[in-house]
Every structure is written in structure tokens, then in C-alpha cells.
């Protein structure tokens, strides 16, 4: 499970300095059809051939900067005719190599598709192009008293969030992208365009193609437009931070809160190492102990009620410093610090790379899984602070690695492999929200066994040439 | 869209009195492998060859009463070897012919699979066999303070509810089966068994096979076990009924409540005709006018708050009689009356059959869609009271028809066809919760266009022989 797939060929551009695009007839055809939208300069190709992961990548032969679904369809049709693989990329914030390209491939850049197509305040929905960022939609929704709370802390695009079934800190209350996508426009491997789902809140009409494409990481089709549910901005918000004697204590508080059905909007777990990293990076001044960050949404009364219930549970587990009266500015600062866990970790070691990985387990096993993982980290001698969307049973490690330290990389791979095996043995999943990409292919097989053959049959049916982001999700 | 698919051959058993099973080599092989679990008597075959719809059905050649996933797998393997179609049936409460058999087919009866396999109160989940009824799980959950609120009022089985993506009166608050199924055990067309999903609250691991099988009506695989989310029983519950001058007024109240984000647990709309039918059948004594039935769940405080907000909105639209202080017994009686809308309609005409159909539209179009449909009903001279899960934008007609009145059947088909077209033109769906079955094949094509080809490709990939409930969902 630890083996990282190696690229079958080193990048010819980087190796030779020559121009691979000139040798790729699909690129010539793309240029004829799409003109200046097709970038072949090395800088563009390099920057648009990878996500934020530590995983290997090549450089695509061309980047098609798509402005519309029609551009994507045209590009895919041309690539299909030449048997050339395509890989979609939006904000490029993925963590498992989902957007990583290889030489000979064409990168379908959706970031120019940045138009909000429709706001439907009366139906609490909106339709956006795939390249629209979460922050952009939320800025447009703010004056309407609405927002889109799902998705990661990093400012991701809707195409990418839908493609990885993203979730983030508020999934415990508002659901993941899976629950918040109502419909999609998708370009298929043939270049044909289909619309899935619709604007009704629910439907029993045929197979759920929407949820088939959500989380498929661009391997079954390229998502170009997304219709999402919106939520009303909460009338009242309060936040709290609480420190605990041990990580297990903090985790038990989360378990009990979830079991009691308290509708907490966010409940984030940071281990001692992560609190130290965050303190150093964001000057948060928290006690260096396991901590929970809470946020409560509702009417002023219900927010008060929820905070009171949580304070009691926390106190029963030795929690200290619970203060639900944090003001809006302090609250924003706190959550920004939580959002910045990856740069906080990276700052622990000058010149380091981070490798972020996640698993998700049934909440009753969270304390056991997370403490066993922490012990493994200590025994393995790697630096890997822990943070998690604990209310979902989802947690992350951020390995902090010197780029050339092969021994540390191998140790990290071992910790990751054992963490995945531990999560699966507990009835959990190898990834709660980062996706499979190219980093967790073996983990997917371990988790789903014969189910992977079903996935492969679906893939073969929808992409018989295997040109849609091949080697991702499925080997 | 109105054409009901006719059976290609009349049932040879009913026609000749002879024994079709003896002419079907798959039945002999099934008897050899599964012994007394294989029923060939006419009474069993007749009773297990249809759902509750008005749609045509034949009689299966045999009924395999399955007690385990292994039984289902064995039966499907044998039928696959003989190229014989199989159709799963559980409680048989479907409304679009999804469980209807034809001569030559084998009915896979899942109702003997009635074991609750696991209750996980610490994780708010449970795993049940496909034949377990909703009432049965809820009886087991009651002492634990938990429940499963999703699904229809009729006592359906988990296999059937998952297969049709059922929703019911509380979907507006707790979601449909789509959101409440965590994992499945499925027998594929080959007889192979796969497990999808898991017990983690969320996962980004590969394609979402769970949601592919949910709503597929047994055409991609036969669901034999279902892992579902559970919910805590609400601390406090209150209910209210409110009458309105017009159906449009009542609908606008629902729209405004949804737009305001009031977390109502149930909000059911009944038109004047349906209130009259319910009054006659259940002696509810309501004013004969459009009505809304509400239920609020939460803490005592929040329930009071929600009811107060709704009372204000209702009053602004001429609502009268809003009384949120209804006691538990009166509440149960009220909701039982709501659950009994179909028998209430059937009782309107001695010896009648009912034909229940549903659509779902964006909430902002609900008033317009429902009043236009009511006008069409009046103009068409059919009896078709309306009830709806209005909070989702979902509503139902129950046509009340004399079995031999071909003119009334044709008029009903016309009303249904125009209602579907109206819903689609408004961005809605041809069915919010009943499914496609055999009754809405043309409607699915109208709704999803090229998406139906994608569905067909998935079907062909997973069931290349087309033995899984053929002719359902896809023509």
C-alpha cells in the first residue's frame, strides 16, 4: 500500500529541453480548433500539471484553458480521436495526485470557467462553472444571507470539490459535496455533454449519475458545471476552544457529543504536536495539549443550549478553558489558524514538504484509531501532527519531510500504510475526503475487494479508451 | 409518456391452467439446489409477482424464498446460467411496477431475510437484511432512544426502500434513503457478492457504488443487506394542522418556511379533495379546505420556537386553526390519517383501484405546478386528490378509477403525462420517490435525454445478459 506509482517515463521536456508538444498531433489539432486557448509554454504546462501533493508528476504536452463546456467538449473530442489522455485541473488543491499529469497527456484547465451562472435564493440553490472558487460563490451569497458551508478550508474550485467528494470542517453539520450537489454538467470520454440530476431536492428517476461522477476524480467524465444546495447563514454563531489532558479524552468528548445528537457545526481535533505547530505559525497561544475547536450555529437560544451541553461533556473529560463567548474577530483568527494547519506543519522544518493523508472510522473507534496512530508516529520517529474533523470520525496526518530524506519518506509510508490498515480493520475507509488519486490505489483495493472490479466495469463502460485521467482511482 | 408497457405474452399459467414451471429448466435446477425454498404453487407465484401499482404483471415461474445472501447468490447464478430473468421483491409496497414479474421469470423473495444483523447505538448505525421492515427496526431501536425516520408511511422493507430511493414525510428533515444508507451487500448479475460503502460516516474512496445501487430498482444488482444511519429520538415533538383559503396559500407557507430555514420535521400538504377523503375514512373532522400538517422535533425550547415561526407565516397567508399543542394520541391519530391517504382515496369509489403518481419540483415552482395540476384534474373530470411532502417540493396524485373504465384510465394517463411535462419544464423530476419502474420509462427519457444512454451503458456493463429485472428503469 505504501508504494507510490512511478511515472512510466521521465518527462521528456525536462530531460531534453526539447518540445514534446510538437511531437503530439493532438496538440496541433487542439491549436487549430481552440487557438490561443491552447498553451504549450513550459511554465504553464509545468504549473498546470500537478496538485499540492508530494506525489510524482510529469508535464503535460499542452494545457487547454477552457472557458466553456463547449471548449472542454471540443478538447476531449480531439484528444479522444488521437487516443491522448486528458486530466482536468481547477484550483489544483488536491492532495492525492488526482490532477497530476504525465508526458503525452493534455491538461484540461477549468480555472477560466469562473462564472456563477445562476443564483436561486428562492430555492436555496446555485449553478456555477467548475472553476468557480468557494470563496467567490460565498462572496456573491453574503448579501443574500446565504452561504455554501461544505468543502475544505483551502479555497478549492467547485469542479475539484465535486470530483473528490470534498467535505471539510462543517460536513458534520451540513454534509459533504456528495449531499450538497444537486446536479452536474459533465463532458464524457466521447466529448458528449450530459446533464445529471436537476434542481428538485430529491429524485428517484433512474440511476444516480450525479453521485457517480461526484468523487470519480475526473476518471468517468469531466465536470464543467455544478448545481449546489445553499444554506441560510446562521442567525447566531459561537465558538469555543478546549484543552484536554490526553488525545483520548478529547476524542471521547467528540464521540459523546455525536452520540447525544448535539448539532455542532464544527468540531475539530488537534493533537499536542499540531497545537504546537499552530501556535508557532499563527501565534494562537494555546496550551500545548490536545485541543478541540468547536463552532455552534443556530438561533441565539439554541447556540447557547448546544454550548452548554458541550461544556458539560468536556468538563467530564477534564477539559479546561472552554469559553463559548469568543467574539467574531477572535473566532475568525482561530479558524484561520485551523485552516492553516498545513503551512503550520511545513514551517516546522525549513525547506520541507508535507504529505497529508486521511482516514475515517466509525466514531466509536476514533479514540482507539487515533491513539494507536499517534503511538506509531512516535515509534517511527517521523514528524506528523494530527488534526481531524472528529465529528465525522475523520482525521489527518501531515508528515513533515525533508525532500531528500528517503528514510523519513519510507517511515512515513509505513505509518500511512498501517493507519489505513487499522482504519479498515475498524470498519472505516482509507480516505474520508482526500480521494484515491494515485496515492491510495492499493488501499482502495484493500478496502473494496470485488467492488473495485465493479468500479472497473463502470470505468470501461464510460471510458472504453481509458483516456480520462488514467491510472487515477483505478490502477 | 402515458403508454403503459404491455406484457409481451399473456401469462400461460392463467390462460391454460398448465404448469409453466415444469417447462422452465432453471426452476428444476433451483429446486435441486435450494429445495423447499423454491415455491411453484400458483398462489405463491401470483402473490409474489406484483407490487401495489395499477400496472400490468404476469406470474413468475417460481418464487425463491431466500433466507440469506448466499441463497440469493445461488439463485441468481442458476438463473444467469439459464438466461432466466430475476425480479426481487420484499414487502411489495412499490407503486410503479418495480417488482412486477412476467411469465418465464423467477421472483427472488427477500421477505424471509428478516433479521436485524447488528445494532450500533454508539455509531448511530444498524445493519439489517433486505426483508426487515421499517416498523421492525424501529421497534428494536425504541428502547435505545433511537429511530430510523426515513422512508414511506407504508411499512416497507429496507431492500425495497433502498432500491427505490424512498423518502416519505420526514425526508425534509432527515433525508431520503440516499442520504441514510451507509453501505450495502449486493448480489450482482453473475451471482457474485459485493459489499459497498462501509460504516464510516463519509468516504472519498472510489466510485460511490452505494448510491449507484440505491434507486436502481434491482436492475444493477439485488440488495440483500443494508447498513443505515440512525437518529436520536427527538427530545420533544409537537404537531399542528392548519387550514387555508386556497391550495396556493398553503403552498406559499411551505415555500417561505423552507426559505427561512425552519428545520420542520414534517410538512405535508393536502388539497381540499384529499382532506374530504381523509375525513370520510379516518373521521378527522377537518375543515374541508387545503391543509398543512406540521411536525416539529427538537428540544422543548426549539420546538416551541419553530412552531411560533410557522404560526406567523401561516397567519400571514390566511391560515386558521393552527394549534401546536396537539397531544401525543391526537398526533398519532392525525399522522395515521395522513399515512392512510391511499385507502382513503380508494374508499371514495367502491371496487376502485388507485393509481398513485408523484413529481418533485424546485420549491419556488411548487404553488404554480400544483395549482396547474389541480386545474387539469378538474378539466379532465377525473378523481385525483393531492397530497405532498411539500417541504421537498414533492407531491402525489391518487387517481381513483373504476377498474374497467378505460376512458377514466386514459384521462388519468393524460393528467399524469401533462403533470410530468409540467414538472420537467420547471426544472423538476418525473418522480421524487416512487421510482421509474415500468410506469415512467418514457418520462425518464424525457427528463434525462443523453443521460439515459449513460445509464444504459452502466446497465450493460453490470448486467450484460439483461437478466436483472429487465425492462424496469430502462426500456
Tens digit of each residue's pLDDT (9 = 90 or more) over B251-272 = 999 989 988 889 999 999 999 9
Q: How far is A254 from chain B (nearest CA, A)?
A: 12
Q: Is there a contact between A215 and B207 if contact means CB atoms under 8 Å apart? A: yes
| Residue B1, pLDDT above cutoff 80 | no
Interface test with B, best of A127, A202, A432 (most B CBs within 10 A): A202
Q: Are both A116-232 and A236-339 of the same fold? A: no
Q: Is B205 on the interface with A (CB under 8 A)?
A: yes
Q: How far is B4 from chain A (nearest CA, A)?
A: 17
Residue in B208, B301, B360 closest to A203 by CB: B360
Residue in A205, A305, A461 closest to B457 by CB: A461
Question: Crossing angle for the helix pair A247-259 and A366-380, nearest 10 degrees?
Answer: 160
- Show residues of chain B in contact with A198, CB under 8 Å: 427-429, 447
- Show residues of chain B in contact with A193, CB under 8 Å: 450
In chain A, residues 355-374 whose CB comes closer than 8 Å to chain B:
360-364
CB-based contact A193:A73 (threshold 8 Å): yes
The pLDDT of residue A257: 92
The pLDDT of residue A9: 36
| Among A307, A298, A294, residue whose Cα is nearest residue A254 | A294
| Residue A12, pLDDT above cutoff 70 | no
* Cross-strand partners of A442: none
The ipTM (two decimal places) reads: 0.94
Q: Is B118 on the interface with A (CB under 8 A)?
A: no
User: How far apart are alpha carbons B227 and A4 in whole angstroms?
Assistant: 33
Interface test with A, best of B175, B200, B455 (most A CBs within 10 A): B200
Distance (Å) of CA A234 to CA A142, A231, B436: 12, 9, 37
Q: Is there a contact between B360 and A427 if contact means CB atoms under 8 Å apart? A: no
CB-based contact A97:A356 (threshold 8 Å): no
| Residue A24, pLDDT above cutoff 50 | yes
Q: What are phi and psi of A8, to 5 degrees?
A: -70, -25
CB-based contact A91:A155 (threshold 8 Å): yes
- In what order do the strands lie in the sheet containing B236-244? B236-244, B290-298, B266-270, B386-389, B394-401, B353-360
User: How far apart are alpha carbons A356 and B359 in whole angstroms?
Assistant: 44
**From A298-312, B83-97, B192-206, the region with the lowest mean pLDDT:** A298-312
| Residue A4, pLDDT above cutoff 50 | no
CB-based contact B356:B396 (threshold 8 Å): yes
pLDDT tens-digit map of A42-101: 999 999 999 999 999 999 999 999 999 999 999 999 999 999 999 999 999 999 999 999
Q: What are phi and psi of B218, to 5 degrees?
A: 70, 15
For residues A267-279, average pLDDT: 96
Q: Is there a contact between B211 and A211 if contact means CB atoms under 8 Å apart? A: yes
- Show residues of chain A in contact with B95, CB under 8 Å: none
CB-based contact A222:A158 (threshold 8 Å): no
Q: How confident is the model at residue B19 (pLDDT cuts 50, 70, 90)?
A: low
Q: In sequence order, what DSSP letters do the residues of A349-414 get, joined into one string?
A: STT-EEEEEEEE--GGGHHHHHHHHHHHHHHHT-B--EEEEGGGTEEEEEEEE-TT-HHHHHHHHH
Q: How confident is the model at residue A302 (pLDDT cuts 50, 70, 90)?
A: confident
pLDDT > 70 in chain A, percent: 96
Domain A236-339 has CATH 3.40.50.2000: no
Q: Which three cell numbers stand for residue B35?
A: 429445495
Distance (Å) of CA A326 to CA A239, A310, A333, B66, B370: 6, 15, 11, 58, 47
Give, rounded to a whole angstrom, the gap between the first and last alpha carbons of chain B: 12
pLDDT tens-digit map of B393-410: 999 999 999 999 999 999
**From B84-93, B316-325, B463-472, the region with the lowest mean pLDDT:** B316-325
Q: Tell me which chain A residue has its CA closest to the CA of residue B450.
A: A194
Q: Is A203 on the interface with B (CB under 8 A)?
A: yes
Q: What is the CA radius of gyration of chain B?
A: 22
Distance (Å) of CA B303 to CA A173, B145, B297, B323, B325: 19, 18, 6, 13, 11
For residues A449-465, average pLDDT: 98
Q: Is there a contact between B363 and A220 if contact means CB atoms under 8 Å apart? A: no
User: How far apart are alpha carbons A163 and A98 in whole angstroms?
Assistant: 9
Residue in B200, B206, B305 closest to A455 by CB: B206
CB-based contact B97:B55 (threshold 8 Å): yes
Q: How far is B132 from chain A (nearest CA, A)?
A: 21
| Average pLDDT score over chain B | 93
User: How far apart are alpha carbons B87 and A137 in whole angstroms?
Assistant: 46
| Residue B236, pLDDT above cutoff 70 | yes
The pLDDT of residue B2: 38
The pLDDT of residue A82: 97
CA angle B227, B232, B237 (to 5 degrees): 135
Q: Is A118 on the interface with B (CB under 8 A)?
A: no
For residues A408-420, average pLDDT: 98
CB-based contact B231:B182 (threshold 8 Å): no
In chain B, residues 64-93 whose CB comes closer than 8 Å to chain A:
none
Question: Which is more confidently placed, B60 or B15?
Answer: B60
Q: Which three cell numbers stand for residue B106?
A: 423467477
Architecture of domain B236-340 in CATH? Answer: 2-Layer Sandwich (3.30)
| Residue B14, pLDDT above cutoff 70 | no
Q: Which three cell numbers stand for residue A136?
A: 467567490
The pLDDT of residue B3: 38
Q: What are phi and psi of B210, to 5 degrees?
A: -55, -50
Q: Is there a contact between A211 and B216 if contact means CB atoms under 8 Å apart? A: no
Q: How far is B299 from chain A (nearest CA, A)?
A: 9
Helix, strand or coil, per DSSP, at residue B72: helix
Q: Tell me which chain B residue has its CA closest to the CA of residue A221.
A: B454
The alpha carbon dihedral of B127, A449, A182, A118 has a sign of positive
Distance (Å) of CA B17 to CA A461, B207, B290, B424: 44, 48, 50, 45
- Show residues of chain A in contact with B261, CB under 8 Å: 231-232
The pLDDT of residue B291: 96
For residues B139-150, average pLDDT: 97
| Residue A255, pLDDT above cutoff 70 | yes
| Among A404, A351, A401, A396, residue whose Cα is nearest residue A380 | A401
| Average pLDDT score over chain A | 93
pLDDT tens-digit map of B422-439: 999 999 999 999 999 999
Q: Is A122 on the interface with B (CB under 8 A)?
A: yes
Q: Is A351 on the interface with B (CB under 8 A)?
A: no
User: How far apart are alpha carbons B471 and B438 in whole angstroms?
Assistant: 7
User: Which residues are CB-neighbours of B382 under 8 A, at least 6 positions away?
Assistant: B399, B401, B408, B411, B412, B415
Q: Tell me which chain B residue has its CA closest to the CA of residue A220.
A: B207
User: How far apart are alpha carbons B153 and B134 in whole angstroms?
Assistant: 9
Q: How far is A194 from chain B (nearest CA, A)?
A: 6
| Residue B411, pLDDT above cutoff 60 | yes
Give, rounded to a whole angstrom, the gap between the first and last alpha carbons of chain A: 12
Domain residue spans in chain B? Answer: 116-232, 236-340, 343-434
Q: Is B306 on the interface with A (CB under 8 A)?
A: no
User: How far apart are alpha carbons B72 and A406 in whole angstroms?
Assistant: 51
pLDDT tens-digit map of A385-394: 999 999 999 9
The pLDDT of residue A19: 52
User: How far apart are alpha carbons B389 and A92 in whole angstroms?
Assistant: 41
| Among B357, B431, B340, residue whose Cα is nearest residue B393 | B431
Q: How far is A105 from chain B (nearest CA, A)?
A: 22
Other Cβ atoms within 10 Å of B202 Cβ, number: 24
Q: What is the DSSP letter of B3?
A: P
The fold of B343-434 is Alpha-Beta Plaits (3.30.70)
Residue in B166, B452, B462 closest to A206 by CB: B452
Q: List the alpha helices (DSSP H) in B134-185.
A: 134-141, 158-163, 171-174, 177-180
For residues B237-247, average pLDDT: 94
Q: Is A432 on the interface with B (CB under 8 A)?
A: yes
pLDDT tens-digit map of A154-202: 999 999 999 999 999 999 999 999 999 999 999 999 999 999 999 999 9
For residues B160-180, average pLDDT: 96
- Show residues of chain B in contact with A251, CB under 8 Å: none
Q: Is A206 on the interface with B (CB under 8 A)?
A: yes
Q: Which three cell numbers stand for residue A465?
A: 479508451
User: How far apart are alpha carbons A140 and B388 in whole angstroms?
Assistant: 33
- Length of chain B (residues): 475
Helix, strand or coil, per DSSP, at residue A457: helix
Strand runs labelled E in B263-422: 266-270, 290-298, 353-360, 386-389, 394-401
What b-and-e string marks burial along B163-181, b requiring 16 or more CB atoms within 10 Å of the CB? Answer: bbbbbbbbbbbbbbbbbbb
Domain A116-232 has CATH 3.30.1360.170: no
CB-based contact B425:B88 (threshold 8 Å): no
| Residue A11, pLDDT above cutoff 80 | no
Q: At which residue does the C-alpha cell 430510523 appear?
A: B148
Distance (Å) of CA A289 to CA A169, A254, A322, B63, B458: 20, 16, 14, 62, 51
CB-based contact B295:B257 (threshold 8 Å): no
Q: How confident is the model at residue B324 (pLDDT cuts 50, 70, 90)?
A: confident
| Residue B459, pLDDT above cutoff 80 | yes
For residues B220-243, average pLDDT: 95
User: How far apart are alpha carbons B210 and B218 in whole angstroms?
Assistant: 13
CB-count exposure of residue A116 (10 Å: 0-12, 13-18, 19+): middle
Amino acid at each position: 500500500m505504501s508504494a507510490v506509482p512511478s511515472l512510466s517515463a521521465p518527462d521528456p521536456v525536462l530531460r531534453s529541453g526539447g518540445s514534446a508538444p510538437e511531437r503530439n498531433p493532438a496538440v496541433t489539432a487542439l491549436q487549430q480548433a481552440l487557438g490561443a486557448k491552447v498553451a504549450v509554454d513550459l511554465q504553464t504546462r509545468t504549473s498546470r500539471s500537478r496538485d499540492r501533493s508530494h506525489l510524482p508528476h510529469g508535464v503535460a504536452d499542452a494545457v487547454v484553458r477552457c472557458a466553456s463546456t463547449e471548449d472542454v467538449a471540443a478538447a476531449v473530442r480531439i484528444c479522444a480521436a488521437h487516443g491522448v489522455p486528458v486530466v482536468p485541473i481547477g484550483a489544483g488543491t488536491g492532495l492525492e495526485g488526482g490532477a497530476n499529469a504525465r508526458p503525452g497527456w493534455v491538461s484540461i484547465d477549468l480555472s477560466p470557467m469562473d462564472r456563477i451562472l445562476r443564483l436561486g435564493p428562492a430555492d436555496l440553490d446555485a449553478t456555477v462553472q467548475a472553476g468557480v472558487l468557494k470563496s467567490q460563490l460565498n462572496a456573491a451569497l453574503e448579501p443574500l444571507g446565504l452561504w455554501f458551508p461544505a468543502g475544505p478550508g483551502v479555497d478549492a474550485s467547485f469542479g475539484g470539490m465535486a470530483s473528490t467528494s470534498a467535505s471539510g470542517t462543517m460536513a458534520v453539520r451540513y454534509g459533504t459535496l456528495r449531499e450538497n450537489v444537486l446536479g452536474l454538467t459533465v463532458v464524457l470520454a466521447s466529448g458528449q455533454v450530459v446533464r445529471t440530476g436537476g434542481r428538485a431536492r430529491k429524485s428517484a428517476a433512474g440511476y444516480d449519475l450525479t453521485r457517480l461522477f461526484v468523487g470519480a476524480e475526473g476518471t468517468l467524465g469531466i465536470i464543467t458545471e455544478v448545481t449546489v444546495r445553499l444554506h441560510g447563514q446562521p442567525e447566531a454563531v459561537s465558538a469555543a476552544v478546549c484543552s484536554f489532558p490526553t488525545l483520548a479524552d478529547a476524542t471521547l468528548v467528540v464521540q459523546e457529543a455525536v452520540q447525544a445528537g448535539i448539532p455542532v457545526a464544527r468540531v475539530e481535533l488537534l493533537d499536542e504536536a499540531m497545537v504546537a505547530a499552530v501556535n508557532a505559525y499563527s501565534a494562537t497561544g494555546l496550551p500545548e495539549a490536545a485541543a478541540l475547536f468547536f463552532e455552534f450555529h443556530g438561533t441565539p437560544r439554541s447556540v447557547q443550549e448546544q454550548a452548554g451541553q458541550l461544556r458539560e461533556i468536556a468538563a467530564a473529560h477534564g477539559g479546561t478553558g472552554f469559553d463559548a463567548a469568543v467574539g467574531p474577530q477572535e473566532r475568525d483568527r482561530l479558524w484561520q489558524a485551523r485552516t492553516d494547519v498545513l503551512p503550520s506543519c511545513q514551517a516546522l522544518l525549513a525547506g520541507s514538504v508535507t504529505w497529508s493523508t486521511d482516514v475515517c472510522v466509525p466514531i466509536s473507534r476514533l479514540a482507539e484509531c487515533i491513539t494507536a496512530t499517534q503511538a506509531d508516529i512516535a515509534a517511527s520517529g517521523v514528524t506528523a501532527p494530527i488534526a481531524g474533523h472528529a465529528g465525522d470520525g475523520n482525521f489527518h496526518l501531515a508528515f513533515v519531510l525533508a525532500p531528500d530524506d528517503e528514510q523519513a519518506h519510507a517511515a512515513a509510508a509505513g505509518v500511512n500504510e498501517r493507519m489505513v490498515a487499522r482504519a479498515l480493520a475498524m470498519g472505516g475507509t482509507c480516505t474520508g475526503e482526500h480521494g484515491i488519486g494515485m496515492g491510495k490505489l492499493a488501499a482502495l483495493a484493500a478496502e473494496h475487494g470485488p467492488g473495485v472490479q465493479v468500479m472497473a466495469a463502470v470505468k470501461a463502460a464510460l471510458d472504453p479508451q481509458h483516456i480520462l485521467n488514467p491510472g487515477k482511482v483505478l490502477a
